[in-house]
Chain A
Amino acid sequence: MNKVDRRTFLKAAGGVAAGSLFFGGCGEAPAFNRGVKKTLNFWAFSDTRIIWQKYAFELYKKERNPDFEINWSIFPYAQMHDQILITSQAGTGGPDIADIEISQFARFIKGDIIFVDITQPLQQRGLMDKFYQASATNPWSWKGRVYGIGNELNTVLLSYRSDVWEKAKIQTPINTWDQFVEEAKRFHQDTGNYLIDFPFDDWASWWIMTQQQHRGFFNSQGQPILNDPINIQTLQFQKQGIKDGWATVRPPSASGQSYYATLSQGTVTSLMGPSWNFSGFIQENIPQTKGKWHLQALPAWPTPDGSRTATHGGTGVAVLKTGTNPEEALDFVLYEHTNVEALLHDFSVRQVWPTYKPAFADPRLSGPLDFFDNQRVGDLIKDLSPQINQWYNSPYWPETTNACTTFAITPAIQKSDVSAQQALDMAQSQTQSTINFETA
């Protein structure tokens, strides 16, 4: 009797244990394509960005016939980067290849770097000089080594609803911000709508404007300069616009469709950004506005030798050391960034100009674009790209930009009793304190 009971229990326990082991064994990533070669996992956070990369992979398959397939996954922006960071700590898991956004890269250089060093492969293939390094490799470099490569030349332009502006008889092109304010006030008075909006939960708009005036987050030594006088003036400019009524506050980025609704309905009629924004996102979310947009350079500030453009964002591709086949993955990554067909495909979809210099020989890059009412945008890009002011990165980019949003932008834009000076002073001291804490 006793033995039977013990046996029964042991059987049950054994069953449970075996069950766990069995499932544990099953707990590895199954190949999504059964019976086909190997599968490399590609993680991205933007589905518009994968379009050209998938296209590039089709070309790659025809030309090189690799023995792997790629499984493309899209995650939310923050979560994807968080998970890769966790992977770097865990030493396993995670994807083989990933899109790494420019402002997230700094998070991965604090410990052991999880990305494959591609400096040598680039040099060996003689590729280093064939790129606009400022956009292609610098953002993903650390201490002289390159860990990622980007295809986006992100010259910022002002994109506006030409149909609405013409109807309202707005004088284009608008050459200075003073002029802009004039037109904006009139427009709001006449129609109740706005020429522009400013976000409360995002630093992009403010950063673009400060970049024009040779300012931004960091100085050349990588030290935060949030409460520099010009930075403060710029934020105050935005506050004043909202207070005076010629600008409005953008809906929160978490509620994305709200924002695109305001754009398509004509409540807000312009935006500042690079092509992944004025083309990529706009074309994906409100394709019905095709042909109703024009582009122009950003209005100028009174500061001498200010710029009519800036840069914003950018995503590069990195290969993870924890992946299954880093060499093969790298081969594809280098291929897609140097294949003119593929790069031009991204151009046709998102109007992203490539960082690969030889691609510019193609006349398509300066043709008329029907989304922009047949404007020859490429010429504009070519003219303005050299004018992008130098900007400085820092290992503390995430901390500083977060502090800027949390302690400066949000309170300043949302609260009328918080001045830009107070807000940026607070953000500066916060950042300083965080950096001190981390480096102590």
Chain B
Amino acid sequence: MAVIQANVAARQSTYQKSNNWWKRNRRKVAPYLFISPFFILFAVFGIYPILYSFELSFFKGFGFDKKTFFGLGNYIHMFQDPSYIIAVANTTKFALGSVFILSPLALLVALAINSRFVRWKGFFKTGLFFPVITSSVVIAIIFARVLDTNYGLLNTLLGWFHIPPIGWLTNTNVVMISLILLAIWTYLGINTLFWLAGLNGINKEFYEAASIDGANNWQSFWQITLPLLRPVTLFVIIQALIGSYNLFAEPLLLTNGGPSNASLTITLYVYNQGFRNFNVGYASAIAYSMTVILLVLSLINLKLFGGSNTNS
């Protein structure tokens, strides 16, 4: 430090006073300069909308110009609005499918890839990954053809096994399941990678120690692998939850939320209210209710899977 100060003092004499100030304080000022381009934009496009949306949720009216104060009216209507309730139910169904079907499935696949029986690990990791980098629009377009009732690839395939055509996108009972299956197809790859990253982080010594103690595969899986995967589990589940609530392009392009709201998701409903009906206040209220739901679910998950990275 003293050396630095001496150097600084030595240079002072060769610069004017304004430069002195700059040189002396640049270490203090620099960070503000560095963060300002980001923060100015962030304040305008990130923070302000969050606050404004909250304010909007207490107003009603068509568009942004004709607003009238409405108090809690939007929120009250929300809880009586069957479309809202269906949207929440659908999205939750979808989230459950993601968490309880997709994630464990991905874990199994990860275990399989990780095991010593499989050698082309890179090939499998890459092969399963394609859907993740594809836009949901493209996926929706492909699957509109695959899931078509009369001319779709899937029903044709089932037809070879003498299974009658299923209304994947037209049957109100089936459509949400179709979306879940589509989600499994899309996100199996990346969830597998998450689990693999977690598995790789487990120290092999644990297994060796356990086998010396006489534990078999099953026991070591339950007692070592799973507990040590807890931080990854937390991450995977929260990702799945957040992703579920963002489901938008597929229901929009495949079924437009139908038939009869059977595939209406929360984000699609926000879009409908906000950009089709321009009930911007109501749309904001719905979006905020979603935030609350997600927060609660995240906290629950934190309680279940949180805790430190230390071993049990």
> Which residues of chain A have a CB within 8 Å of any CB of chain B?
78, 82, 85-86, 89, 110-112, 200-201, 251-252, 254-255, 257-258, 261, 405-407, 410-411, 414-415, 430, 433, 437-438, 440
On whether the beta carbons of B259 and A440 are closer than 8 Å, the reply is no
Please indicate the chain A residues that have their CB under 8 angstroms from the CB of B83 in the complex.
406
A428 to B70, CA, bound (A): 25
Please indicate the chain B residues that have their CB under 8 angstroms from the CB of A254 in the complex.
144, 169, 255-256
On whether the beta carbons of A410 and B260 are closer than 8 Å, the reply is yes
A415 to B171, CA, bound (A): 10
* Nearest 7 Cβ contacts at the A-B interface: A410-B260, A110-B62, A258-B150, A111-B63, A406-B260, A111-B62, A252-B170
Please indicate the chain B residues that have their CB under 8 angstroms from the CB of A255 in the complex.
148-151
Interface of B is mostly: loop
A-B contact pairs, 23 of them (CB 8 A): A82-B276, A85-B275, A86-B275, A111-B66, A112-B65, A200-B170, A200-B259, A201-B170, A201-B258, A254-B144, A255-B151, A258-B148, A258-B150, A258-B151, A405-B260, A410-B259, A410-B260, A411-B260, A414-B171, A414-B172, A433-B81, A437-B81, A438-B279
Closest-by-CB residue of A relative to B77 is: A437
Let me know if B73 is at the binding interface, CB within 8 A: yes
> Which residues of chain B have a CB within 8 Å of any CB of chain A?
60, 62-66, 70, 73, 77, 80-83, 144, 148-151, 169-172, 255-256, 258-261, 275-276, 278-279, 282
A289 to B27, CA, bound (A): 81
Please indicate the chain A residues that have their CB under 8 angstroms from the CB of B62 in the complex.
110-111
Please indicate the chain B residues that have their CB under 8 angstroms from the CB of A407 in the complex.
82, 260
Closest-by-CB residue of A relative to B278 is: A89
Please indicate the chain A residues that have their CB under 8 angstroms from the CB of B81 in the complex.
433, 437
11 extra A-B contacts, CB within 8 A, seeds A255-B150, A257-B151: A82-B275, A86-B275, A89-B64, A89-B278, A251-B150, A258-B148, A258-B149, A258-B151, A407-B82, A437-B81, A440-B70
Closest-by-CB residue of A relative to B76 is: A437
On whether the beta carbons of A85 and B169 are closer than 8 Å, the reply is no
A261 to B148, CA, bound (A): 14
A-B CB contacts (within 8 Å), total count = 73
Please indicate the chain A residues that have their CB under 8 angstroms from the CB of B278 in the complex.
85, 89, 110-111
Name, among A112, A406, A411, the residue most crowded by chain B CB atoms within 10 Å (CB to CB): A406
> Could you tell me the distance in whole angstroms from the C-beta of B32 to the nearest C-beta in chain A?
16
Known contacts being A410-B172, A440-B60, is A251 close to B261, with CB within 8 Å? no
A255 to B147, CA, bound (A): 11
On whether the beta carbons of B260 and A78 are closer than 8 Å, the reply is no
A405 to B255, CA, bound (A): 14
Please indicate the chain A residues that have their CB under 8 angstroms from the CB of B169 in the complex.
252, 254
A405 to B83, CA, bound (A): 13
A410 to B262, CA, bound (A): 11
Please indicate the chain A residues that have their CB under 8 angstroms from the CB of B258 in the complex.
201, 406, 410
On whether the beta carbons of B259 and A414 are closer than 8 Å, the reply is yes
Closest-by-CB residue of A relative to B148 is: A255
On whether the beta carbons of A201 and B149 are closer than 8 Å, the reply is no
Please indicate the chain A residues that have their CB under 8 angstroms from the CB of B171 in the complex.
414
A394 to B23, CA, bound (A): 71
> Could you tell me the distance in whole angstroms from the C-beta of A256 to the nearest C-beta in chain B?
11
Please indicate the chain A residues that have their CB under 8 angstroms from the CB of B73 in the complex.
440
Closest-by-CB residue of B relative to A403 is: B83
> Could you tell me the distance in whole angstroms from the C-beta of B224 to the nearest C-beta in chain A?
50
> Could you tell me the distance in whole angstroms from the C-beta of B241 to the nearest C-beta in chain A?
27
A415 to B151, CA, bound (A): 23
A330 to B258, CA, bound (A): 38
A406 to B148, CA, bound (A): 21
Closest-by-CB residue of B relative to A423 is: B260
A437 to B82, CA, bound (A): 13
A415 to B170, CA, bound (A): 12
A300 to B77, CA, bound (A): 43
A14 to B198, CA, bound (A): 42
A89 to B80, CA, bound (A): 28
> Could you tell me the distance in whole angstroms from the C-beta of A7 to the nearest C-beta in chain B?
16
A111 to B298, CA, bound (A): 40
A410 to B66, CA, bound (A): 34
Name, among A257, A407, A414, A415, the residue most crowded by chain B CB atoms within 10 Å (CB to CB): A414
Please indicate the chain A residues that have their CB under 8 angstroms from the CB of B148 in the complex.
255, 258
Please indicate the chain B residues that have their CB under 8 angstroms from the CB of A201 in the complex.
170, 258-259
Closest-by-CB residue of B relative to A259 is: B150
On whether the beta carbons of A433 and B80 are closer than 8 Å, the reply is yes
